[in-house]
């Protein structure tokens, strides 16, 4: 192990001669001795590798936006009947009436399509004249026809029309004024028409009913 320069000076206390001083003037100045951290200088490890640069921070992972939930598919069965429009149990009962020679359910459906169209026209006229009694009667009539086919949304709306025509709100179990009854009936007729349009479109497709057969 090598000794430091400071220890070397203490081991050779002789003074340098004038000639040595003159000669040393033409020499390049010696570097200043390093101050040792201890009495024995540590060897220099020239093989030590330089520290590797710090690795860059990873960019935060980009979380993709969650896709919008898809609407739930319409519940159907082996017959392809949309159960959110038509009551399957009732529709099965109608189909059971068919035999090999006749299509009773198809004729029944065509009759309903015609009756519903005529009833809605009469409702519009009674609504214009504010005839609550007639609206109640028409609501009762279409309630029964739609229930026979299994179009339960139309059935429910017409049942409310029937009671409101008698100035009665069965859901709240209270009597209502004519103005309130007419306002609610107007909204219910629109709901019934929309639901009936959807159901009718499916029934026409299922039975292949043309406009000539049931306008």
Identify the architecture of domain 104-207 in CATH. Answer: Up-down Bundle (1.20)
On the 0-12 / 13-18 / 19+ scale of CB atoms within 10 A, 102 is exposed
The pTM score is: 0.63
The ranges assigned to domains in the chain are 104-207
One digit per residue, the tens of pLDDT, for the chain of length 215 reads 444 434 444 444 434 444 444 344 444 445 444 444 444 445 545 555 555 555 555 555 555 555 555 445 445 556 677 778 999 899 989 988 887 666 889 999 999 999 999 999 999 999 999 999 999 999 999 999 999 999 999 999 999 999 999 999 999 999 999 999 999 999 999 999 999 999 999 999 999 999 888 87
Three state DSSP letters for the chain: CCCCHHHHHHHCCCCCCHHHHHHHHCCCCCCCCCCCCCCCCCCCCCCCCCCCCCCCCCCCCCCCCCCCCCCCCCCCCCCCCCCCCCCHHHHHHHHHCCCCCCCHHHHHHHHHHHHHHHHHHHHHHHHHCCCHHHHHHHHHHHHHHHHHHCCHHHHHHHHHHHHHCCCEECCCCEECCHHHHHHHHHHHHHHHHHHHHHHHHHHHHHHCCCCCCCC
């Amino acid at each position: 192990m090598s000794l430091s320069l400071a220890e070397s000076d203490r081991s050779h206390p002789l003074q340098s001669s004038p000639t040595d001083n003159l000669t040393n003037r033409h020499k390049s100045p010696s570097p200043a001795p390093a101050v040792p951290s201890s009495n024995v200088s540590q060897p220099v490890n020239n093989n030590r590798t330089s520290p590797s640069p710090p690795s860059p921070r990873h960019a935060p992972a980009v979380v993709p936006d969650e896709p919008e939930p898809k609407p739930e598919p319409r519940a159907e069965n082996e017959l392809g009947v949309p159960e959110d429009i038509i009551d399957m149990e009732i529709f099965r009962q109608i189909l059971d009436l068919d035999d090999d020679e006749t299509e009773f359910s198809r004729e029944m459906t065509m009759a309903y399509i015609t009756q519903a169209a005529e009833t809605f026209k009469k409702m519009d006229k009674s609504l214009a004249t504010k005839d609550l009694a007639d609206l109640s009667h028409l609501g009762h009539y279409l309630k029964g026809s739609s229930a026979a086919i299994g179009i339960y949304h139309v059935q429910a709306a017409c049942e409310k029309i029937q009671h409101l025509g008698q100035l009665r709100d069965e859901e709240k179990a209270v009597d209502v004024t004519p103005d309130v009854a007419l306002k609610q009936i107007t909204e219910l007729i629109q709901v019934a028409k929309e639901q009936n349009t959807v159901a009718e479109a499916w029934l026409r497709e299922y039975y292949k009913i043309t406009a000539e057969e049931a306008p």
